[in-house]
Structure 1
């Protein structure tokens, strides 16, 4: 899923506000407990509410982000830039088909710009079943547990692994191999700078100068990697 790749650690902040009883068992003060309840209630509301009505009319928000699933949506500029690149690639192929692995914002923008683009969204979050037959449930821990009809069927694949770990990228790479159509396949990978060497080794990818950004401000630096030379698009391949 589009990606926050870090975990909030409550235990790093709560002990300072805790007290101890006679058994030396840490307990929270009433003030801290109330603040924690309020925070959790706010998180719960955020997962169930519809996208804000004050959002820009042209923005696309498929569903609310769920940080428990490492979901952080691209901002508009990133989503439009990558979607337009994918659509340009579709024009180079006789029978285009796009696989969007864990990047629902991209899928949504593709459909907004060109409703007829043949695209499939592979996602763990079943809220995206709203996309009907173009939704396929996907768990990266089971990288090839996909319909046989999808095997070797996609000349364009965009992937955004949900975690910045070697294991996650290796399993997503297995999925990419499963989906890849024989011949020329265009691969775009959105993930962290820390995955640069792994992306090169596993998938033969190089970073572009274009820097993806998310609507939420994340601490990790993200990159867009491709297996083809984008020329002047996407800022071109980064020069080494």
Structure 2
């Protein structure tokens, strides 16, 4: 992070929020929503896609940060001199359509590293700033952590594990005034979810939640009044699948 960007973040009159998985889906929708009145640090692996998100928003509202969250050393370097964080939205995740019979160890490891270990590591790194700000940490969970279905076996396992981490974290930081929440959407209209379900990327399946709806729920948690925390928000389609 260059000194000019670091100084800009430190001096921001708007809340500073880090959003991971920011180049597409729920993450991109969250950046779009929060950038109206926050300074957003948008984290993703693809520089080009991050820049597309930035270019669509008001000038100066978003700082793109390209880093692979599973690369522990790269993450430590990227966030080493971040002066301030008021909220962290741990949204980045990967998902594969697998069954117990087809699940390869490397697929399982990647999902666990990306969906559980990476957000835990980033939270660890940013906890001093979040504690100083009495900030808010939001994790994008999943309906799969309560209602798993066939062929989502590894993804559901990772989201069960994430929920356990979040619930324990909330207890650990309660005395520091840090708020911890899960926003858990059901089937959502994202490319990753379509691919996991074997649908085309431009599927028009009408029973899925718009990513912008999930982003509004994330904002609701981030903007909750100071005397409360919204610990779990379950966002379900208006018409449930059967």
Output the TM-score relative to the length of structure 1: 0.45
Q: In proportion to residue count, which structure has more helix?
A: 2
Larger radius of gyration: 1
Output the TM-score relative to the length of structure 2: 0.44
